[in-house]
């Protein structure tokens, strides 16, 4: 395996995909290429091919064992990739059975990340972004519940660091301050 492997996480709607895309554009301009892999897309491709789901937002409600197998397959595929890789994923996934670790041991050992980055924002701002995005079927959730999820993500990220020795960084993506988030992320990835 060559290059850096950076896992970027955040609760749904925090804007992690937006921050990743903008940061990659800047880095490409500096001659630092990164490839971004969306872990959910990798899982979804298999889940759809096997007839488990029709859209990506149904994956959170799948049987836990099916989700685990989909995670394992995605982890294996991404683990085999070369170069600087960003893995756009979740530290934890809110499922009907509780918080599912996004990177359990068998996924982490395939990925061996150098760093885990948590993208965070104010709970109320995340709620408003979710309400404004009609293209997705978000689980109904209030800002207190979003706050809990962000807290759980920090705890899970600390566990991932203990398991692999990777570092943990936090990037804030506040409303209308996307540039600040992109600047912070670019520095981390450089
Ligand atoms: P995934 O594809 O990651 O979907 P998601 O969690 O719903 O994340 P989104 O991409 O929708 O949100 P985002 O935070 O990237 O925000 P965005 O940039 O779009 O995962 C799909 C599913 O896959 C999961 O639900 C799960 O089931 C599964 N999965 C994934 N990883 C897994 C794992 N490891 N294990 C098990 N299952 C896994 O931005 C949102 C909005 O905010 C946009 O409208 C944007 O314009 C706006 N915005 C962004 N930044 C700002 C700003 N600074 N100011 C104002 N508006 C902003």
ipTM: 0.89
CATH of the domain at 176: 3.40.50.300
Alpha carbon of 155 to those of 77, 92, 159: distances in Å? 26, 10, 6
Integer Cα distance of 106 and 93 in angstroms? 16
The answer to whether the beta carbons of residues 15 and 129 sit under 8 Å apart is: yes
Is residue 14 situated within a structural domain? yes
Q: Is 123 part of a structural domain of the chain?
A: yes
Whole-number Å distance, alpha carbon 55 to ligand 1 midpoint, is 14
- CA-based torsion, 23, 172, 7, 136: positive or negative: negative
Asked whether the beta carbons of 30 and 110 are under 8 A apart, the reply is no
Q: Pick the residue whose CA is nearest to atom 10 on ligand 1.
A: 17
- Within-domain flag for 73: no
Separation between Cα atoms, residue 150 and residue 15, nearest integer Å? 13
Give the residue ranges of the chain where pLDDT is below 70.
1
Q: Which contacts qualify for 59-64: CB closer than 8 Å, 24 or more apart?
A: 60/93, 60/94, 60/95, 60/139, 61/95, 61/96, 64/95, 64/97, 64/100
56 lines ligand 1 (CB under 6 A): yes
pTM over 0.90: yes
Position in ligand 1 atom list of the atom nearest CA 20 = 18
Q: Confirm if 184 and 171 have CB atoms less than 8 A apart.
A: yes
How confident is the model at residue 167, as a pLDDT? Answer: 98
Whether 180 is in a domain gets the answer yes
Polymer length of the chain = 190
| Domain presence at residue 160 | yes
pLDDT (0 to 100) of residue 51: 94
- 148 alpha carbon to ligand 1 midpoint, in Å? 17
Total domains present in the chain = 1
Range of the domain at 95: 5-35+84-189
Q: Whose CA is nearest to atom 17 of ligand 1?
A: 15
Q: Is residue 74 part of a domain?
A: no
Residues sharing a CB contact under 8 Å with residue 96, sequence separation 6 or more, in sequence order: 61
Residue 10 forms part of a structural domain? yes
Query: Which tokens is 172 given?
Result: 């804030």
Query: What number of CA atoms fall less than 13 Å from residue 99's CA on the CB side?
Result: 19
Closest residue by Cα to atom 21, ligand 1, is 40
DSSP state of 50: T
Residue-level pLDDT at 163: 96
């Amino acid at each position: 395996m060559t290059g850096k492997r950076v896992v970027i996480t955040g609760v749904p709607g925090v804007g992690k995909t937006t921050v990743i895309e903008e940061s990659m554009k800047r880095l490409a301009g500096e001659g630092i290429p990164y490839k971004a892999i969306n872990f959910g897309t990798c899982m979804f491709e298999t889940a759809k091919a096997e007839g488990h789901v029709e859209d990506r937002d149904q994956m959170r409600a799948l049987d836990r064992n099916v989700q685990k197998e989909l995670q394992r397959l995605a982890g294996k595929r991404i683990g085999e990739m070369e170069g600087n890789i960003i893995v756009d994923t979740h530290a934890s996934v809110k499922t009907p059975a509780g918080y599912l670790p996004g990177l359990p041991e068998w996924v982490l050992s395939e990925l061996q990340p150098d760093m885990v980055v948590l993208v965070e924002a104010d709970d109320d701002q995340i709620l408003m972004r979710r309400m404004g995005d009609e293209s997705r079927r978000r689980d109904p959730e209030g800002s207190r519940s979003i706050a809990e999820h962000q807290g759980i993500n920090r705890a899970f990220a600390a566990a991932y660091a203990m398991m692999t020795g990777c570092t943990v960084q936090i990037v804030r993506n506040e409303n209308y301050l996307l540039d600040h988030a992109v600047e912070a992320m670019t520095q981390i990835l450089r």
